[in-house]
Structure 1
Amino acid sequence: MTNAIKKDGTIKTNRKYTSSFVVGFIFLLLFAFISLFPLFLVLINSFKTHAQILANPLSFPTELNFKNYVYTWEFGGFSEGFINSIKVTSTAIIINMLASAGMGYVLAERKVKLWKVYTFYFLVATTVPLQMFMLPLYSSFVQLKLIGNVYAVGVVIAAWNLPMPIFLMRTYFLKVPRELEEAARIDGCNTFKVFTNVMLPIVSPGLITVAVIVGLFSWNEYLLSTTLLQGEKNFTATLKFKNLNGTFSRSFDVIMAGAVIMVVPMIVVFLLLQRKFIEGMASGAVKG
């Protein structure tokens, strides 16, 4: 792309697309189609009856039938499931934001002598499979009488997701100029005030990124929830949908409506925060 200045002073842009650009753009369109087409099929089939889906799953609905959503929401108990999912997700997000910000700041500023050990520990923790902790977790929950406690499950999910947010926030703190912290200390700020009043506002895009990543994982989490949340009144929306899938395994209209109900909240949240999320991931990926 080149720019040329016209006689009237305006800038004329001449776009010259190379073959590699065109090929890359076509591949991106292809990948977008592959990713979005299944979601599109789920959406259009959620408005159709079971017989219409079997007749032609690729056809558009003749009418927007919202009865599927009403029936699925009421019979599947999604109102209760959404409340439990919000409790689990919000607990995990709050804990991850606070813990990752604090630990990321400590590791970035090397406030402790064993910072290398802690860094290595969190790095190794990202490679350990969750299944290794299920038996001791379940035993601990039984002994502490926490089976079915949605907030306790939120804490466990937060702990499991903590290593990656810590490294992300550490990268953000490494990029903050040391002169800002030194100036704040000269003005009389202690470590807590420097952290809360100076550092956190600067790394706020990273906190939003952490919230989105942890929120998406927590909302869709299945293994921990199905193991530690016993009793249908404690089920999250994911477990409610799983029960729905078992009960209506041959009623595709109900399954499709339930899938849309599950997906829409996360899509809406991501669309609202996508700009901050992308900026946060791009900035956090650059090592300071």
Structure 2
Amino acid sequence: MASLGQIIFSSMIILIIIFSAIIILILALAFSGSLSEVQSSNRLPIANLGEDKLLSCYIHTTSEQTTFREMSVTWEKKELSGVVYLYENGAADLKDQNSQYKGRTQIFPDALTKGNASLLLRSVKRNDEGEYTCHISSSDGGGKVNIHLRTAAFSAPTFTFSNGTLSAEASRWFPKPNVTWLDYFGNVLRGSTSFTQNSAGIFSVVSRLQPVNVSDTYTFRIQNDLVIAVSEATITGSGVSKNTYFTYSAASSRPGSYLSIIISVLCIYCLI
């Protein structure tokens, strides 16, 4: 008759074998999925209202030479009747397309053979915000990916210098942003800022800082929950030179919490 110690030892060996088998199964599934799975390069994109936005969706495969055939692509939006876009049998099928998207969507058939089913959404509107699902089916694999589109309005500021006052104006911001002036060393400066909201709910921003010194560099930051625009403005003898870049926020998987990361940088150089 086996002793208690032998029973415990045998039970531990069995548990180790079971857990090892589970781990091997998980790894096998993971690696097999990586051979051909639907992905997006940005699952939390932010679109600038009124501009076009490309929603990324493609089949990722470990083979660079794969050519996909018999492609079928369906773009849908959560809690929306009809489809956003449907492509099957070698052509677009838009008879069941939701009226919100008529004439505003496009995929690129030439890219489909490479597994790229990204959707171009034209003239983004505020009600375009929401969760989209991209379904891909082909002779060589497929699947789906969810993409949460967020909408905002943002623009780079313009600067002027007159009578010892540095002025910044940004014509399009939504949601309503906060504004901060900083000196070269990062110290917060006190400026005066006004906001004007148009009938579409978009805010224009006018902010002034004084006194300022010629040849000094000042940082002007416009920020809301989605977008941050940081401008470095240097007062020159002929006006103001600036360098502006944007960073965007990426929401975490838990509602209401945000993790700010740089997912895109846009640099604008100009001399006024």
TM-score, normalised to structure 2, is 0.28
Q: Which is higher, the Rg of structure 1 or of structure 2?
A: 2
Higher relative contact order (CA 8 A, sep 6+): 1
